[in-house]
Amino acid sequence: MEVYNDQYIGGRWRPSVGDGVITVINPATEDSLAVVPAGSAADIDSAATAARAAQRTWGATDPGTRLIHLKAIHEGLVARRHEIADTMTAELGVPIGFSTEIQTGLPIAVADSYVEILADYEFTEKVGNSTVYHEPAGVVGAITPWNYPLHQIVAKVVPALAAGCTVVLKPAENTPLVARLFARIVHEAALPAGVFNLVTGLGSEAGTALAGHPQVELLSFTGSTAVGRSIAELAGRDIKRVALELGGKSANVVLPGADLATAVTVNMAYIFSNSGQSCNAWSRLLVHQDQYEEAVTLAAEAASTYVPGDPTDPETLIGPVVSARRRDRVRGYIQLGLDAGARLVTGGVEAPANCERGFYVRPTVLADVTPDMTVAQEEIFGPVLCVLAYRDPEHALALANGTAYGLAGGVWAADEQSAIAFARRMDTGQVHINGGRFNPQAPFGGYKNSGVGRELGRQGLEEFLRTKSLQF
């Protein structure tokens, strides 16, 4: 087991000021993987001070210089892709196939997209008798989650660096090892000291200190809506800008005439991949009442292919959830659904067969779910699908929009125009039409309690810019 006692601050690894530690657990085996420091407010202060000292020089560099460093980061990610995948499988429990293709491949694609965006981005424009400058927002505090640990780091840090900002990163305590690996990649990319800083720690101490630090000018957070709300309140005291990517309760709506079998099969991949620990997972399947029982049968058949197992086995499609606490929470939601009258189609609250150790949850399908049930309203964040029936498209729209969230969703229809028309009426930030693939260059973010701001693409870069106009 590796034991680390340092933070990456001011261009070098230095001993953590705080004396607390975090033990990283393998979710599949419950064995200890490593120990990292639980950084204190003093560590955050050192990192923010280093970032502030580097900000003006880094912000004044020309885009071409920043582009050289971004290319080096991308190349470092590619060179270490196998190490990255193995690390995330170990500390997150995600199957190695998904870890390689998505958990590693997606951030590599995102980093590459910002190389292309920065190469063509105009930071100055003429508007009438004014010249408008798009300038870096300043010191960025980035707080990232454990469910897509490297993707969320890259989606925040890389565009912030491209914009000319300096960064203090506080990764999730469950998955700090891939963050340390990213810090080594950044160090090898030879950024000036203080431009990027990493402090591992608990959200209650290090995260709170970062959100409230007076030298941080923009706070980018991904996590639960409850924590996001408190982060925003804390940042608001200093009138900091915030970008919040929060929870979701996304609906996948299958309209009459659509390919029901394909829609259900794809839905199962969306809800069971990453063990359901995706903010944009299609956790509600909405089907017309005339096709309801057929859809439930299809869901059960598709679910049977997701057998929990060893995440290091290339054949495994679903691994454990991240922690014992998460496992117990997800099982608690399943029981809440059953107690409220939902029908258990497959899965349940018992441990999966042959998974005596590890934080495993049975892939679960709940039918006869009504919109007033807790499982239909709250984010479960586990491998649990709720199937709801609707009477007509207007009823389907009401159900789709009938939660506090609005992050993502899907629409299936016999023709694309019908699907688009329905999707345009959904109160959500991103909708997949007839199974359209995720696009890492398109803006990602939510409506309502799913957050404010956007990540990815040009809009993701512009989150880290502020505008100044000079009139002539």
Question: Which of the residues are catalytic?
Answer: 245, 279
Those residues with Cβ within 8 angstroms of residue 421's Cβ, 6 or more apart along the chain or in another chain: none
Q: Are 76 and 111 spatial neighbours (Cβ–Cβ below 8 Å)?
A: no
Q: Are 130 and 39 spatial neighbours (Cβ–Cβ below 8 Å)?
A: no
Which DSSP helix (H) or strand (E) runs through 120? helix 105-120
Q: Are 264 and 258 spatial neighbours (Cβ–Cβ below 8 Å)?
A: no
The candidate with the shortest Cα–Cα distance to 259, out of 426, 411, 423, is: 411
Q: Are 117 and 162 spatial neighbours (Cβ–Cβ below 8 Å)?
A: yes
Q: DSSP state, 191? A: P
Strand order in the sheet with 218-222: 12-15, 6-9, 196-198, 166-170, 139-143, 218-222, 241-245, 451-452
Q: What is the dihedral of CA 188, 103, 437, 76, to 10 degrees?
A: 10
Those residues with Cβ within 8 angstroms of residue 395's Cβ, 6 or more apart along the chain or in another chain: none
Q: DSSP state, 415? A: S
Beta strand ranges found along 30-115 (DSSP E): 32-38
Distance in Å from the first CA to the final CA of the chain: 63
The DSSP annotation for 337-389 comes to HHHTT-EEEE--SSPPTT--SS-----EEEES--TTSHHHHS---SSEEEEEE
